[in-house]
Amino acid sequence: MVTSLCPAVDPCCHFPCQHQGVCMRVGLAGYECDCTRTGYFGTNCTSPQLWTRLHDLLKPSPAFYHFVLTHFRWFWDIVNSTFIRDTLMMLVLTVRANLIPSPPTFNSDYGYISWEAYSNVSYYTRVLPPVPENCPTPMGTKGKQQLPDPQLLAERFLRRQKFEADPRGTNLMFAFFAQHFTHQFFKTSGKMGRGFTKALGHGVDLGHVYGDNLQRQHQLRLFRDGKLKFQVVDGEVYPPMVTDAPVHMVYPPAVPKEKQLAVGQEVFGLLPGLCMYATLWLREHNRVCDILKREHPTWSDEQLFQTARLILIGETIKIVIEDYVQHLSGYFFSLKFDPELLFGTQFQYRNRIAVEFNQLYHWHGLMPDSFIIQGEEYSYEQFLYNASMLMDYGVEALVESFSKQSAGRIGGGQTINANVLHVAVGVIKESRQLRLQPFNELALQSSRSCLSKLCLMVTLTPGWSGLVPGLQGSSLPRDGREEEKAAELEELYGDIDALEFYVGLLLEKPQPNGIFGESMVEIGAPFSLKGLLGNPICSPEYWKPSTFGGATGFEIVKTASLEKLVCLNVKKCPYVAFHVPDAAEKNRPQGGGPSTEL
């Protein structure tokens, strides 16, 4: 047992236990660090065991991995055509898996392991326990006794001054997919509290298509041939109106019910880009039902519906891994969705969404400054809740316009359009309500290792780091603006170890030619991969043709892509991708749109 130097303070406020060691207060002034299975020992879990020393000695840095995977295209073209691809993909899926506790450990109410934290899926889980109550400062013992005003932080460090297109060519098709996809499992319950979720599936369950409860699902179903309700406008299928599918949707009072689209997620009426994806998945569900009906004419409506849902879940996971994550990574190595790669390993086929993942995924920097649809520019005011735009332009026109319009960079600071800055302010306030540990603690626990623990956009000033991952800060160019921002941060927080998690992620210097910094990748990737491959359909018990209605349904899952999702459900296939076309790279237009949670 160790005795704290300050008996009036919970010693765990100092975050003494490193490398995911668990701090437990003992008596009035002491603490113990449980270093079990961390690879470290000693009072604070700081002394590496022999195998840990060898592992750390031989393990390349994340910056090195990123460099190799984003260079040497000729080499990766060879690898992608051989069996080595499968071996490397298995490593991609497993190397970070141990960073996500399974089963879950803590939640917003319990900073220690308890049955409630494990069993009550109404809570978001969390990787690290909250900052202990009654600490000297909100961030434990470091920094000032009062954190900076969230609005001030957002205005000074997050608000965009000038639009900067993502150098990787990310477009609004990607931005709206990110928002549409994540809203099936990021559904914070305002009534119960910020630590609670309404998405009890905690993963890819397509609750944003089918609803997050049975009553909503039934209101959206046609109960004939397994299909969802729909309407036909000018020969094209669209979601029904609320008058025909009486689900609760979030629209301004001025929008009558006969003009409110009814879809699985109640906030999707906010943006035409979300309605576009809702329409595509509605069409895909009903298309798959037609295929299943032809192959299984004796099946009931219920079996057709349930099997089609499993197929669409599989399609979603494949598109996310092979199109979405592939683009996001910038890797020349081709990612592969193949659950069988994990069948010979121990893997938990269950997932829980963590508070840290929810916080991390607020990517409002993607949203540029206006929307360009077929050459016509729309402001935020004109775009919000403009459901008629979907049917006026049609799905093809929206897909092509969003695919050709650049999204903004997420990391590096000052990347968020003023119209959605309030969401960032809300994220900062939420992190304080949930007592999230500081950025450095999250970074260190995820095995990140910058020389001064934090890799910010700013250059070195006393006590503050301006490091690109793995590089000396002194090798970076300095300018007056960066020095000024560093000084402002130091003045506001008082200590680098008091910098908040979300703020640190957004201020971190982006990777070369990247959309955000290394910490976003290193902390976020384990959540993403575990959430995707931990889906039940990826388990040995589910991953077989009969689950998906036979060989035909299984093939739909195995061959799914973003392009097929669009082109099989429209009359004329438009340009569709998660990056702007080469012709648009040279002169990317500005544009953008808001969100509640990306």
Q: Is 361 among the residues known to form the active site?
A: yes
**Whose CA is closest to 456, among 428, 490, 426, 431?**
490
Helix crossing, 272-295 with 301-319: angle to 10°?
Answer: 130
CA distance 245 to 247: 6
Q: Which long-range contacts (CB under 8 A, 24 or more apart) does 57-61 make?
A: 61/449, 61/469, 61/470
Neighbours of 24 (CB within 10 A): 15
For 16: left if phi > 0, alpha if psi spans -120 to 50, otherwise beta; the answer is: alpha
For 91, residues 6+ apart whose C-beta sits below 8 A from its C-beta are none
φ, ψ for residue 408, nearest 5 deg: -90, 170
Residue with tokens 């891994």: 321
Instruction: With residue 519 as reference, give the H or E element that holds it.
Output: helix 518-533
The burial of 275, by beta-carbon neighbours within 10 Å (0-12 exposed, 13-18 middle, 19 or more buried), is given as buried
Length of the chain: 598
CA distance 589 to 575: 16
- Catalytic position from the list 361, 378, 393, 493: 361
> Under a CB-based contact definition with an 8 Å cutoff, are residues 406 and 163 in contact?
no
Collapsing DSSP to helix, strand or coil, 223 comes out as coil
φ, ψ for residue 246, nearest 5 deg: -75, 60
φ, ψ for residue 357, nearest 5 deg: -70, -40
For 13, residues 6+ apart whose C-beta sits below 8 A from its C-beta are 131, 132, 135, 136, 140, 141
| CA dihedral (79, 83, 85, 91) positive or negative | negative
For 150, residues 6+ apart whose C-beta sits below 8 A from its C-beta are 425, 428, 429, 432
Residue with tokens 């775009």: 383
- Catalytic position from the list 14, 19, 180, 183: 183
CA distance 154 to 421: 7
Q: What is the CA radius of gyration of the chain?
A: 24
**Whose CA is closest to 527, among 144, 230, 6, 127?**
127
Q: Would you please indicate which residues are annotated as catalytic (active-site) residues?
A: 183, 361
